[in-house]
């Protein structure tokens, strides 16, 4: 294929995309396929010669959409959303065309500078104070790992990077059991170890108990361990737990510990000033992660990390071998020094397009609608005698269950997702299997949300 043919096929792809989205409401949300079915449709060996693009495209249409879970379906209520608003898709198409490599300012001046401006725009949009700078990672997992490596090295005065982790006191990291598994993964990868990720007890609201945090840190120090940092969640993945940010940061600061706040999902709602009380005290955080690729409509991947002071992270992750030196330009930002991979996509462009195409007010309206509709739905489910709400709405997320055994609930969830009109997932809360609902898809309407009630009535 050459670039003239690419232009023709891009038009075909754009038409295909429009039809795909136009017909999405009629498709089952979760892929209706079994493991191995797709792989069996592909030849076991690659072709030696070129194949006709007509045939390649036909195979795509025949094989892929039918075996795909439709994350852009307006009745996708599972996990958290992974929106791809049309303007962000367009921006990524332009990035694909240029295929920019944004590791250094010099390799991508526009990408670097737009990233800096987008970090500032979003910092202000979330109501964060102006001392925060930041960068864009592929995922919250990577942002959190970057923060954990930074807290480790800061506590070790950068000796871990230098000498390795042997012969050191036990490093300790603190978070509640409500935080995302990416924190466990970071503890593992950073050489801290799962056993040294202290799961601080939570209170009746599933929020980290700041007094228990203080007690755990003090006991660890007395035992000769080395605390490195505290991770808080604002909107935990399971049920939307929110740690008391101000109190936990206060405890962390008295012990000179680095703090990281995981607001990967709920952070999006902070563009609405009325929700900012949820993360009261956030101004004191050292690091914060928010995923515009969830609720803000920006096509995956786009994870914003805000840093009160970038120096410790750059000191931890930044290496400058001679081949990456930018001659005579010491003042420029080279974002590869802020992040783990050297190569970087131009992720800021889709943020720029999305924010401009919908405006902050357009995004706020969506978030406010989702929250209002989730509240309405929870209220309606509560009225059905055979169901109970197991955790109340936190923004647009709540959980519920059929009154009865876990098995009955598992069977109901399977019936719901096989039916295909909606897609829900599960979690465990207080030892019970509960069904999770969240609203957040970009094109979702009140009718889409209320379809859940119809489906529950039909299938339970």
Ligand X SMILES: *Cc1c(COP(=O)(O)O)cnc(C)c1O
Please say whether the beta carbons of 306 and 137 come within 8 A: no
Nearer to ligand X, 144 or 334 (CB): 144
Nearer to ligand X, 104 or 175 (CB): 175
Q: How far is the CB of 291 from ligand X (least distance, A)?
A: 5
Residues in contact with ligand X, counted by CB under 6 A, come to a total of: 15
Rule CB under 6 A: choose which of 180, 275, 347, 350 binds ligand X.
Answer: 180
Helix (H) or strand (E) holding 260: strand 258-262
Burial grade of 329 (CB within 10 A; 0-12, 13-18, 19 or more): exposed
Listing DSSP states for 144-174 in one string gives: HHHHHHHHHHHHTTTHHHHH-STT-PPEEEE
178 near ligand X, rule: CB under 6 A = no
Give the binding range for ligand X (CB under 6 A) out of 55-63, 126-134, 235-243, 277-285: 235-243
What is the C-alpha separation between 282 and 286, in angstroms, rounded? 9
Q: How far is the CB of 165 from ligand X (least distance, A)?
A: 24
Nearer to ligand X, 68 or 139 (CB): 139
Nearer to ligand X, 303 or 394 (CB): 303
Q: How far is the CB of 451 from ligand X (least distance, A)?
A: 24
Nearer to ligand X, 237 or 409 (CB): 237
Please say whether the beta carbons of 105 and 326 come within 8 A: yes
Residues 120-149: x/- map of binding to ligand X (CB under 6 A)? -------------------xxx--------
Applying the rule CB under 6 A, the residues between 196 and 225 that interact with ligand X are: none
Exposed e or buried b for every residue in 59-96, given b needs 16+ CB within 10 A?
eeeeeeeeeebbbbbbbbbbbbbbbbbbbbbbbbeebe
Give the binding range for ligand X (CB under 6 A) out of 108-116, 162-170, 258-266, 425-433: 258-266
Q: How far is the CB of 105 from ligand X (least distance, A)?
A: 25
Q: How far is the CB of 142 from ligand X (least distance, A)?
A: 7
**How far are the Cα atoms of 152, 153, 277 from residue 160, in angstroms, in the given order?**
8, 6, 37
Q: How far is the CB of 180 from ligand X (least distance, A)?
A: 3
Give the binding range for ligand X (CB under 6 A) out of 52-60, 260-268, 269-277, 403-411: 260-268
Nearer to ligand X, 265 or 353 (CB): 265
Helix (H) or strand (E) holding 227: strand 226-233
Nearer to ligand X, 147 or 317 (CB): 147
80 near ligand X, rule: CB under 6 A = yes
Q: Name the nearest CA neighbour of 333 among 304, 353, 311.
A: 311
Beta strand pairing call for 303-307 and 171-176: unpaired
Q: Residue 105 carries which DSSP code?
A: T
Q: How far is the CB of 266 from ligand X (least distance, A)?
A: 7
Q: How far is the CB of 143 from ligand X (least distance, A)?
A: 8
Nearer to ligand X, 171 or 302 (CB): 302
Cα 94 to the center of its chain, rounded Å: 23
279 near ligand X, rule: CB under 6 A = no
262 near ligand X, rule: CB under 6 A = yes
Sign of CA dihedral 340, 342, 343, 344: positive
350 near ligand X, rule: CB under 6 A = no
Please say whether the beta carbons of 371 and 127 come within 8 A: no
Q: How far is the CB of 50 from ligand X (least distance, A)?
A: 36
Nearer to ligand X, 291 or 336 (CB): 291
Contacts for 364-372 with beta carbons within 8 Å, 24 or more apart?
364/271, 364/272, 366/297, 366/442, 367/268, 367/269, 367/271, 367/272, 367/295, 367/395, 367/396, 368/272, 369/446, 370/295, 370/395, 370/396, 370/439, 370/440, 370/444, 371/269, 371/395, 371/396, 371/439
Q: How far is the CB of 181 from ligand X (least distance, A)?
A: 8
Write the CB contacts of 24 (distance below 8 Å, at least 6 apart in sequence): 70, 72, 73, 74
Residues 281-310: x/- map of binding to ligand X (CB under 6 A)? ----------x-----------x-------
Cα 338 to the center of its chain, rounded Å: 19
Q: Name the nearest CA neighbour of 32 among 66, 63, 59.
A: 66
Q: Which residues bind ligand X (CB under 6 A)?
A: 80, 139-141, 180, 182, 233, 235-237, 262, 264-265, 291, 303
């Amino acid at each position: 294929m050459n670039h003239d043919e690419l232009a023709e096929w891009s038009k075909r792809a754009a038409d295909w995309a429009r039809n795909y989205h136009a017909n999405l409401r009629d498709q089952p949300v979760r892929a209706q396929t079994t493991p191995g079915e797709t792989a069996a449709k592909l030849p076991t060996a690659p072709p030696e010669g070129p194949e006709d693009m007509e045939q390649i495209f036909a195979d795509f249409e025949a094989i892929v959409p039918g075996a795909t879970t439709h994350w852009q379906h307006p009745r996708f209520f599972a996990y958290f959303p992974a929106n791809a608003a049309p303007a962000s898709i367009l921006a990524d198409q332009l990035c694909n065309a240029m295929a920019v490599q944004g590791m250094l300012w010099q390799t991508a001046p526009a990408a670097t500078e737009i990233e800096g401006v987008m970090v500032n725009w979003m910092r202000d949009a979330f109501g964060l104070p102006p001392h925060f700078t930041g960068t864009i990672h592929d995922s919250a997992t990577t942002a959190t790992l970057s923060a954990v490596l930074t807290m480790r090295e800061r506590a070790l005065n950068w000796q871990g990077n230098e000498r390795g982790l042997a012969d050191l006191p036990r490093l300790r990291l603190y978070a509640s059991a409500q935080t995302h598994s990416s924190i466990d993964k970071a503890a593992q990868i950073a050489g801290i170890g799962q056993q040294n990720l202290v799961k601080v007890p939570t209170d009746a609201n599933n929020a980290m108990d700041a007094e228990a945090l203080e007690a755990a840190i003090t006991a660890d120090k007395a035992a000769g361990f080395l605390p490195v940092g505290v991770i808080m969640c604002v909107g935990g993945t399971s049920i939307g737990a929110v740690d008391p940010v101000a109190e936990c940061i206060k405890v962390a600061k008295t012990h000179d510990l680095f703090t990281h706040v995981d607001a990967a999902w709920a952070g999006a709602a902070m563009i609405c000033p009325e929700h900012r009380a949820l993360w009261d005290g956030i101004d004191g955080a050292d690091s914060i992660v928010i995923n515009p690729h969830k609720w803000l409509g920006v096509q995956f991947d786009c994870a914003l990390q805000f840093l009160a002071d970038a120096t410790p992270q750059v000191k931890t992750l930044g290496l400058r071998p001679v081949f990456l030196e930018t001659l005579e330009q010491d003042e420029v930002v080279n974002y590869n020094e802020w992040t783990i991979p050297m190569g970087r996509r131009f992720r800021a462009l889709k943020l720029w397009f999305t924010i401009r195409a919908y405006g902050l007010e357009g995004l706020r309206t969506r978030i406010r609608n989702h929250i209002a509709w989730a509240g309405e739905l929870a209220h309606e489910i509560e009225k059905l005698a055979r169901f109970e709400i197991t955790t109340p709405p936190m923004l647009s997320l709540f959980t519920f269950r059929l009154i009865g055994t876990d098995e009955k609930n598992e069977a109901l969830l399977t019936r719901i997702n096989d039916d295909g009109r909606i897609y829900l997932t599960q979690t465990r809360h207080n030892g019970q299997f509960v069904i999770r609902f969240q609203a957040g898809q970009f094109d979702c309407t009140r009718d889409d949300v209320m379809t859940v009630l119809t489906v529950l009535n039909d299938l339970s």
